[in-house]
Amino acid sequence: MASGRTHVAATIALTPMAAMIAWQLAGGEPTAAALAGAGCLSGVLISPDLDMTGRTISETILLRWNMIIGRLWIAIWYPYALISKHRGLSHVPVFGTLSRVIYLSAIYVGVHFLLQYYYSLDLLQWPILHQQELMIFVAGLAISDFGHWVLDGCRF
Ligand SMILES: [Zn+2]
């Protein structure tokens, strides 16, 4: 099994490749390349290893950057770690990516309802208007997760 640092290095190394793939598939569209690259790079933080209750490298990175955001990130992902078996579904290519996207989406919808109730804010308009961009971003994240899976020995 690769270390957290190795996963971070691999994700960073995969980022230009994810951008190039999107750029090619989108007929030279730079926005698609940027979104896929950003999605892949987000794999440093939205890592399959968030299925661990112990401190992950993504949590350590955020804690060093900002203690409040780091602790919030740990709190957000703690329930995911509790319900996910380490190197279970969370590490299966595509399905693992989707499990984290669905998990984050559920939190986003929860925040939406809170803000809508108290401040009449509608957070659901943005993802509805940007579905295509979000899918490209998630595809980039899936590339990062695929690299993670390979480095972990292609196990399910
Ligand atoms: Zn892993």
93 alpha carbon to ligand 1 midpoint, in Å? Answer: 11
Conformational region of residue 55, where left means phi above 0, alpha means psi within -120 to 50, and beta covers everything else:
beta
Q: Which residues surround ligand 1, an ion (CB under 5 A)?
A: 48-49, 152
- For residue 44, the tally of other CB atoms under 10 A from its CB is 20
CA–centroid distance for 65 within its chain: 18
pLDDT tens for each residue of 31-55: 999 999 999 999 999 999 999 998 9
pLDDT of residue 85: 87
pLDDT band at 4 (very low <50, low <70, confident <90, very high): confident
AA identity, residue 130:
H
The backbone torsions φ and ψ at residue 27, rounded to the nearest 5 degrees and listed phi first, read 70, 40
pLDDT tens for each residue of 95-153: 999 999 999 999 999 999 999 999 999 999 999 999 999 999 999 999 999 999 999 98
Report the range of poorest mean pLDDT among 1-5, 25-29, 99-103: 1-5
49 alpha carbon to ligand 1 midpoint, in Å? Answer: 5
Pair 20, 33: CB distance under 8 Å = yes
How many angstroms separate the CA atoms of 154 and 44, rounded?
Answer: 19
Angle made by CA atoms 45, 48, 53, in degrees to the nearest 5: 90
14 alpha carbon to ligand 1 midpoint, in Å? Answer: 16
pLDDT band at 14 (very low <50, low <70, confident <90, very high): very high
CA–centroid distance for 10 within its chain: 15
Burial class of 34 by CB neighbour count within 10 A (0 to 12, 13 to 18, 19+):
middle
CA–centroid distance for 105 within its chain: 11
- Domain ranges within the chain, ordered by starting residue: 4-49+89-151
3 alpha carbon to ligand 1 midpoint, in Å? Answer: 8
7 alpha carbon to ligand 1 midpoint, in Å? Answer: 8
144 alpha carbon to ligand 1 midpoint, in Å? Answer: 11
AA identity, residue 46:
I
29 alpha carbon to ligand 1 midpoint, in Å? Answer: 32
50 alpha carbon to ligand 1 midpoint, in Å? Answer: 9
**At residue 155, does pLDDT exceed 90?**
no
pLDDT of residue 91: 93
pLDDT tens for each residue of 50-100: 999 989 988 999 999 999 999 999 999 999 999 998 888 999 999 999 999
pLDDT band at 23 (very low <50, low <70, confident <90, very high): very high
